[in-house]
Chains A and B, each alone.
Chain A
Amino acid sequence: MRALSIAATGMQAQQTNVEVIANNLANMNTTAFKQQRAEFTDLLYQNIQTPGSQTSDQGTYAPNGIQLGAGVRTAAVYRVTTQGDLQSTSNPYDVAIQGPGFFRIQQADGTDAYTRSGNFSLSPQGQLVTQDGLVVQPGVAIPQNTLSVSINAQGQVNATIAGNTTPQTVGQLELTRFPNEAGLNAVGNNLYLETPASGSPQAGVPGSAGYGKLQQGFLETSNVNSVDQITALISAQRAYEMNSKVISAADQMLQQTSQMGQ
């Protein structure tokens, strides 16, 4: 009886769905987190009678066939890359991206990673680094005895140094874009890696065509909508329940079968 295994695929799919929702809700307060969605597709079909098969030699055709499905599978868990809200933090090294693009970060092994989470700090050497101490690329060094730092929408970092009335430009932040942002590989710690699916990185100046603007003193919140997630959770739970009902119905039918010869 196929119904048993079909319903099992349905339960597995809903389990994945609940896991994705749980992760979204857990990351509700993660800076620049992008909510994910599970996408499902139907499995292969077994053709008992192919649609359009001939029913006589007079050229009459069956208007519809008999195709039995085998259930459902998860096709993708994709990231919805809409903009999160901007939250004021008043921290001079917090930088939010308003619009598309990623900051480029150099990982400990020298390779590049990308993030939208702009909660930066200074390293002991005065370098702009992430909360894990990874250097923001291209490097920005804030000189000692700096009184205040301003980062404008175009990514220019200006520092006012003690004894100097005019601010000096000490660095320029860049943004990176990918042909397919959804194809980036999320590796945790708010970092993403380039993949063959994402395409190659294209660096640009913030605020130029196609790139987002920077906003100093703000952080991008996660774009998780809790109401959406809770309703999705309810429907996933109900769908799971219904699939389990199919299993118990199929089980009852099989039970009847086994009792037939008694």
Chain B
Amino acid sequence: MDNSLLVSLSQQLAAFRAMDVIANNLANVSTPGFKREASKFEEYIAHVRPAEDQKGPQTVSFVKDAGVLRDSIQGNIERTGATYDLALTSKGYFQIQTPAGMRYTRDGHFSLDANGNLVNSDGYAVQGDGGGITIAPIDGDINIAPDGTVSSVVNGVGNQLGKVKVVDFANDSALTKLGANLYSTSQQPTEPASVNMHQGALESSNVQPVIEISHMIEVMRAYEATATLSKSQEDLMRQAITQLGTQPN
């Protein structure tokens, strides 16, 4: 009898967690390079003592977290007009050197630091083919080609300043999220088959509000249903206690 309450409880905890994931998706609806996540649950089968009139082993299924899946589908491209904003439209990640090691991101909002190095919004160096990329004020108008080549034209002479590096991984979903739009991994980066980026734009978050809101309603109703179930279970218990506990006269 207690099991039904515990099974309900496991579902309610799962609903809370699903709600947290949806809330995080909706909170990041304007975060560039953000990839929506979906919580996935699995059955956890527990064996229980069979009831008096039943034969064979009895099982109940609890809900258990299986994982949070990342949907790595391409986000929309939003134009910003800023020279160093890069929207990646191919698979892969930009490489960022942080004091804690190499990090990866799809958020291409970059700018220059006081020494003219190309950095991300936390001031960490964006990696090019040969380390960081440095741009001097004298370089004038900067052009970043779809393959990541950074160049400028000074006095009519083309000048290549570096190439923004894009790397890919065998298993995208095993990248660890660190916040600040960064990922880390112990996997070895691989060379992507093709690289395509747009200057002056950012890849917006791929969260689709319609889907999130409908999931939210679904989770809310499932929670409600379980709460009602628990309540009827509780009523049953109460009735049992009142009826059985009454002293026969």
A interface residues, Cβ below 8 angstroms from B: 1-4, 6-7, 9-10, 13-14, 17, 37-45, 47-52, 61-72, 75-76, 78, 80-82, 100, 177-180, 182-183, 196-200, 202, 209-210, 223, 235-236, 238-239, 242-243, 245-246, 249-250, 252-253, 256-257, 259-261
Contact = CB atoms under 8 A, between A and B. Distances in A.
Contact of A71 (B23, B154, B178, B185): B23
B122 interface: yes
B140 A41 contact: no
A64 B30 contact: no
6 nearest A-B pairs in the assembled complex, by CB-CB distance: A10-B27, A69-B24, A199-B114, A6-B23, A3-B23, A210-B138
Interface stretch (B52-60, B89-97, B167-175, B191-199): B167-175
Contacts of A243: 23, 26-27
Contacts of A4: 23
A210 B140 contact: yes
Nearest to A202: B137
Interface stretch (B43-51, B143-151, B224-232): B224-232
18 contacts: A38-B30, A39-B109, A41-B31, A51-B175, A61-B174, A65-B67, A67-B177, A68-B20, A71-B27, A81-B83, A82-B81, A100-B137, A179-B137, A180-B116, A239-B29, A239-B209, A250-B23, A261-B234
Nearest to B25: A69
Interface string B91-121: 0000000000000000101011111100001
Contacts of A43: 179
Contact of B20 (A2, A182, A252): A2
B138 A209 contact: yes
B10 interface: no
Contact of B227 (A69, A82, A259): A259
Given A68-B20, A80-B81, A202-B137, A62 B28 contact: no
Given A3-B19, A62-B67, A179-B115, A14 B30 contact: yes
Output the residue of A82, A178, A180 with the most chain B CB within 10 A: A180
Interface string B151-184: 0001100000000000000010111111111000
Contacts of B70: 64
Interface in B203-221: 209, 212-213, 216-217, 219-220
A22 to B, nearest CB: 16
Contacts of A253: 15-16, 19, 220, 223-224
Main secondary structure of the interface of B (DSSP, over half): mixed
B129 interface: no
A208 B29 CA distance: 44
Contact of A178 (B69, B109, B137): B137
Interface of B: 12, 15-17, 19-24, 26-32, 34, 37, 39, 65, 67-70, 80-83, 107, 109, 111-116, 121-122, 135-140, 154-155, 171, 173-181, 185-186, 209, 212-213, 216-217, 219-220, 223-224, 227, 230-231, 234
B161 to A, nearest CB: 13
Given A41-B180, A45-B177, A249-B19, A210 B27 contact: no
Contacts of A47: 176
B111 A68 contact: no
Output the residue of B139, B176, B224 with the most chain A CB within 10 A: B176
A210 B135 CA distance: 12
B67 A63 contact: yes
B179 A40 contact: no
A71 B31 CA distance: 10
A80 B82 contact: yes
Given A51-B176, A256-B227, A239 B113 contact: no
A250 to B, nearest CB: 6
B22 to A, nearest CB: 7
Contact of B109 (A76, A198, A210, A238): A76
A41 B113 contact: no
B121 A39 contact: yes
Given A43-B179, A179-B114, A197-B113, A70 B82 contact: no
A162 B178 CA distance: 70
Given A39-B109, A252-B220, A6 B27 contact: yes
A190 B178 CA distance: 38
Contacts of B223: 253, 256
Output the residue of B24, B171, B217, B234 with the most chain A CB within 10 A: B24
A80 B80 contact: yes
B212 A3 contact: no
B30 A65 contact: no
